[in-house]
Amino acid sequence: MIHNEEKLLQRIKSGDDEAFALLMEQYANQVYALVVRIIQQREDAEELTQDVFIKAYEQMENFSGRSSFATWLYRIAYNCAISHTRRHRVPHLSIDEGRIAAVRDEDIEQMEGDLSDHNIDALMEAIEQLNAEERALVTLFYYEQRPITECAEIIHQSESNTKVRLHRIRKKLYLLITHSKDETEQ
């Protein structure tokens, strides 16, 4: 698969746009899923996904191969989707930092270990209330199951910073599912 991808990338760099169409076919749905999860709008997501692939095609010469093609593509998708949410100022819930810091690690472990339908449904709703950057990280780490190093590269953060962010997201999710009524909408 990777070998094929390298061949395709070489063909694209030499000006073969048919090879790009093949590569797009391979990643289109994954990129679309990430974009939909970040911007939470299907209407704009298709156009945004197109923008991602157009940018990737135009910047292909800058792809050095230092990271995998998927990571590079996801990074473009992340940037496009986050810029879109900033332009459209999508409202999200804001929680007091003091309350987030007060959540105990045991509570998070308990929440993550509770596989009851009730807990999973509540978590599903809570994820939708996170801000765009947090939803992106949840999608990359939990849904896509990408390693921390890749997630960090996609969201332009250091590995340790990404771990801290994930921990903060878990605490926020815990607060959202336990104290959802107390939240104030921004």
CB 69 within 8 A of CB 60: no
User: At closest approach, how far in Å is the CB of 15 from other proteins?
Assistant: 9
> Nearest CA to 173 among 116, 110, 117?
110
- Minimum Å gap between C-beta 47 and other proteins is 10
SS3 state at 133 = helix
The backbone torsions φ and ψ at residue 65, rounded to the nearest 5 degrees and listed phi first, read 90, 10
> Considering the rule CB under 8 A, would residue 123 count as an interface residue with other proteins?
yes
Contacts to other proteins from residues 52-111, by CB under 8 A: 53-54, 57-58, 109, 111
Q: Is position 29 an interface residue for other proteins (rule: CB under 8 A)? A: yes
Does position 145 interact with other proteins (CB under 8 A)? The reply is: yes
Q: At what angle do helices 159-178 and 117-128 cross, to 10 degrees?
A: 120
Size (the chain), residues: 186
CB 78 within 8 A of CB 168: no
- Give the Cα separation of 40 and 52 in Å (integer): 17
**146 lies in the site for other proteins, by CB under 8 A:** no
Kindly tell me which of 66 and 118 has the beta carbon lying closer to other proteins: 118
Q: Which of 4, 21, 96, 161 binds other proteins (CB under 8 A)?
A: 21
Q: Residue 87, Cβ neighbours under 10 Å: how many?
A: 8
Nearest-approach distance from CB 169 to other proteins, in angstroms: 9
> Can you give the binding site for other proteins, defined by CB under 8 A?
17-18, 20-21, 24-25, 28-29, 32-33, 36-37, 42, 45-46, 49-50, 53-54, 57-58, 109, 111-115, 119-121, 123-124, 127, 138-139, 142-143, 145, 170, 173
